Amino acid sequence: MARYHHPPIAELAMQLKMSPARLRLRQLDAIEHLAELIAPDKHYPYDFVCHQITAYRPMTTMSGKPMLGKTLMEDLALLAEELSGSHPVPVLLMDPRCWTTEELAGRLNVSTKTVCRWRRKGLIGRRLRFPDNTIRMAFTERVIRRFIVAHHDQVKRGAAFSQLTEAERERIVALAREILTERRLRLHELSQEIAAKVGRAVETVRYTLRRYDQAHPEEALFSGDQQPVIRPELQAIYDAVAAGGTPEVVGRRFGRSAEAVRAVVREVRARKLQAIELKYVHNQEFEAPGADEVILAPPEQTVTAGRRVRPPHDLPPYLQELYRCPLLSAEHERHMFRLYNYLKFKADRLRKKLDPLAVTDAELDAHEALLARIEQLKNDILRANLRLVVSIARKHVGQSSSFFETVSDGNLALMRAVEKFDYARGFKFSTYASWAIMRNYARTIPEQNYAAARLVTGVDEMLAAAPSSEHAVERETVLEGVRQLLRKGLDLLTDRERDVVVRHYGLDGSGSAMTLHQIGQLFGVTKERVRQIECQAISKLRAGLTAVPVELIEE
């Protein structure tokens, strides 16, 4: 259903659609006539509008204030479209002829977009059925003539407007790229500045830049949130500072001022923080007045840690260390989980309010300190409950060769349990975590046993067939060949493709990989766009590396 400015008009639309179809033409004519009487800056009561359209006074007085002419005009355009669409009249029955949007645009020498914009100012259209059985918007001759008379200057300006030439479009894009190199501006801010220079409307410039980004995604200037895209050269500036370079030194290297380098670093830091997804268990007390004083306050003295437990003697020393961390009491555990989720709640709100182009170093430092505190709380909770994983793993596999692998798998289940535990239900975390770990083991342990019994990898066969020393030499030779092949493959990619592949697969030597969503937040593009770039890169690698001779790998 159409969205009306005034609820009484929406109610009237529902009533008129249930009226007999034979009254439709008279109702549409009345709407068009009413649109001619309305002044944009005056107010009109509902009973006047209803009487003009239906020739009847409403039986009950509709609540609400008088309706402003400007918004009432838009509601009348929607009303005419909705009524005519419920029972479309054949265009052959209309006398005199009606003009479609395209035909009217050609007649007045304007764009179809301009014609659609005029509908909000009194050019009332109606949906008609054409001989090819399609239903299209059309305008009667009477409505067109009256609109031209009432808006003569506006129609004249529309006809005199010239479309952008290709040279003008290229100049707008070139100016945008030049300005963004010096200053980081949002799409609207940049459009205003360029519009003043080229003598065009702000909306025209903004539309031109959007169309350019859609046609050239590899060289897009702005992301979906109208923030400027992080180009590879800006990422290189951030990496140089992160590696220990001072803004002054890095600025001289890239031909920028120290303040410009600091602005780039702040923007990239903010984009990285925006890419971090914070999932938490919400509670109503987080939004209560004075939540900071209640939740962030240190625990009372009565909240003490639980007792220590003696570790089993058959465990390795580093696993015995887990038992030296005291268990959490029920009060202390509830306090930690409440604080953990509340801090994530605050951090998520701060993340959504971050403005990469206006954020300060103090705001970024405070946000990163909050994330560090969240991580520390999570580690404290995990450390106090890791012995639970060891205990359950011993019951499932005992001291078998897969014991440590089972403990590692259980640790992952424990981490997921920490993220999903709702402290407000009153249960102990150990109860919830035990069930989560056992459910995980019930699924993974049978799969591991099946794989161990049925599958033998090619690496295991090679290890069994070759002497250990020779195998080590062969393995190192193969790895070196793979490294060289990988370097040759990355040279085939563009800067953006190489950056996406390296970050997604952790090929930068850090060993940490980023998700597609995180990369998209970093570069200011959508997750789907990052996936497309990665697919293009993989296709290039597949096509380029299949043609590489074996001799190149052995060089």
Read off the pLDDT of residues 317-338 as tens digits, 9 standing for 90 and up. 767 777 777 788 889 999 999 9
pLDDT band at 447 (very low <50, low <70, confident <90, very high): low
Average pLDDT over residues 144-169: 82
Instruction: Return the higher-pLDDT residue of 162 and 428.
Output: 428
Residue 376 reports pLDDT greater than 80:
yes
CB 50 within 8 A of CB 12: yes
The domain made up of 284-455 has a fold known as Four Helix Bundle (Hemerythrin (Met), subunit A) (1.20.120)
Please state the domain extents for the chain. Answer: 7-160, 166-229, 284-455, 465-554
φ, ψ for residue 296, nearest 5 deg: -80, -10
Instruction: Give CA–CA dist 503/516, Å, rounded.
Output: 9
What length is written for the chain?
555
Read off the pLDDT of residues 175-192 as tens digits, 9 standing for 90 and up. 999 998 888 888 999 999
Looking at the chain, the whole-number percentage of residues with pLDDT higher than 70 is 84
> How is residue 163 annotated by DSSP?
P
Read off the pLDDT of residues 113-147 as tens digits, 9 standing for 90 and up. 888 888 878 888 999 999 888 999 999 888 898 88
Q: What per-residue confidence (pLDDT) applies to 464?
A: 53
Instruction: Return the higher-pLDDT residue of 369 and 470.
Output: 369
228 strand-pairing partners: 222
Instruction: Return the higher-pLDDT residue of 244 and 548.
Output: 244
Average pLDDT over residues 255-259: 89
Helix (H) or strand (E) holding 53: helix 46-54
Look at residue 100 and give its three-state secondary structure.
strand
Residue 212 reports pLDDT greater than 50:
yes
Which range (159-173, 453-467, 513-527, 540-554) has the least confidence?
453-467
Average pLDDT over residues 390-415: 79
φ, ψ for residue 248, nearest 5 deg: -65, -45
Residue 512 reports pLDDT greater than 50:
yes
Q: What per-residue confidence (pLDDT) applies to 302?
A: 47
CB 278 within 8 A of CB 351: yes
pLDDT band at 286 (very low <50, low <70, confident <90, very high): very high
34 exposure class (CB count in 10 Å sphere: 0-12, 13-18, 19+): buried
Q: What per-residue confidence (pLDDT) applies to 340?
A: 95
φ, ψ for residue 139, nearest 5 deg: -130, 135
CATH architecture label of 465-554: Orthogonal Bundle (1.10)
Residue 389 reports pLDDT greater than 70:
yes
42 contact partners, CB below 8 Å, separation of at least 6: 68, 69
Instruction: Give CA–CA dist 20/472, Å, rounded.
Output: 88
Average pLDDT over residues 384-396: 85
Average pLDDT over residues 77-105: 86
Q: Is the alpha carbon torsion for 212, 217, 220, 225 positive or negative?
A: positive
